[in-house]
Amino acid sequence: MSGPENASAAFRLMIATSWLAPDAWQENQEKAIRTAIEARPDWTEYLRLIDRHGTPGVSWASLCRIAGIEIPGPAAQQLRERSDTCRRQAVHLALILAGVLQRLQDAGILAMPLKGPTLSLDLYGDVGLRFSRDLDVEVPKGDLEKAQACLQSGGWKLESTFFPMSPRQWESFLGHEQHVNFVDARTGSLLEVHWRMQWETTAATEARWARSIPVHWQRYKIRAMHPGDNALYLCRHGGQHVWFRAKWLGDLARAHSLGLLDWEASFETARNLGQGRVLLAGLGLLRELYGLPLPDLPESAWRGWAPVLVEMPVRALMDPAEPASRVGPAKLRNRMRLSRYERLLRPLKSHWSSFSDLLYSREDYRTLTLPDRFFWGYALIRPFLWLWRWIKRAFDFFAPKTWKSSRIQ
């Protein structure tokens, strides 16, 4: 269980503390942590890395249970403060999630919380260990508009990038995207309401809901994903972001080592959906970075294996900056890297489906509003709308800052 050989001691320590190993693997984790600390890590770099990778709670918890290690006083103090902040944020989000689930339950809407406080409780038995910036809840597609009205009546508002859409525009939006964003007007908290997963067909979504398990969280009736679907979900979520944040791997490592995931069922589902490489990438990273054993899958499962499935995520993990912080050419290079990795993971599409995706852009509906009876016109003018937005963005990017400031005023 170690990081790449050319990684710094601080990075290897961050990877070693990015999860909280269960009893069966605690000795292995302790060895990796001690080895990284003996290499004299730069503690300032380590603090920066746990901020970058979102692991303050589990990192401090994993360090605290190892006797005799020496952490410099200032670094220990900052680690403790980061862990406390993570816990306060997690409890705050758990209370907000309870309010959301209450409203949806009262409205008769099934809800499936994703990641966040419920995942933290499932993995660690402690809502405060897993760091989250927002909340994610999935509802059946048919209940989406009802859920939207329910949330808006409770003080949630659509995030600023959303705007009113006509029935045809809304139908197109539902077919091409996966979630809608809300902001709590009182606290500023963010909520993503999903109706399907990335790269998932309508039939696959319905089958996943049919396999979901009714459970109680606190006093709320919710749905939990089947262990096979949960394995694919965790791998898919990390994969669509090139696994650039270690906390997603830490979640997967903990769930795998606790036996909470049904890899055999997950592989069968992934193979049927054309997403076998999604699982292979996650499993390859667990072996490469944590030294965890692979599940007993059929030999045919590994036919889609390619070293790049691990190599690209490792580079993304070692990148000192988050993709969202990139600007200019660096941002373009990151988009190209993400696009290349997505092409490896996502299922093959029909020519018509690919063509439909090429023609879709929600921004088209904001740039030009066509009546629904002329909705077909978007397909004809899509290249011109794209070119207009590209020119406008380029103009804004290269315009002198002083001129832009005066224009804003």
Task: List residues bridging with 157 in a β-sheet.
Answer: 183
Stated as kind and residue range, the H or E segment containing 184 is strand 179-184
Task: List residues bridging with 180 in a β-sheet.
Answer: 193
pLDDT band at 327, cuts 50/70/90? low
The identity of residue 263, as a single letter, is: W
Which pTM value belongs to this model?
A: 0.89
CB 116 within 8 A of CB 135: yes
pLDDT band at 328, cuts 50/70/90? low
Stated as kind and residue range, the H or E segment containing 392 is helix 377-398
Give the pLDDT of residue 401: 47
Stated as kind and residue range, the H or E segment containing 129 is none
Q: Is 373 helix (H, G, I), strand (E, B) or coil?
A: helix
Encode pLDDT of 246-287 as tens digits.
999 999 999 999 999 999 999 999 999 999 999 999 999 999
Cβ neighbours, 10 Å, residue 224:
17
102, 51, 37: which is closest to 81 by C-alpha?
51
Residues 6+ apart with CB under 8 A from 304: 276, 277, 280
Cβ neighbours, 10 Å, residue 265:
17
Instruction: Please say if the pLDDT value at position 408 is more than 70.
Output: no
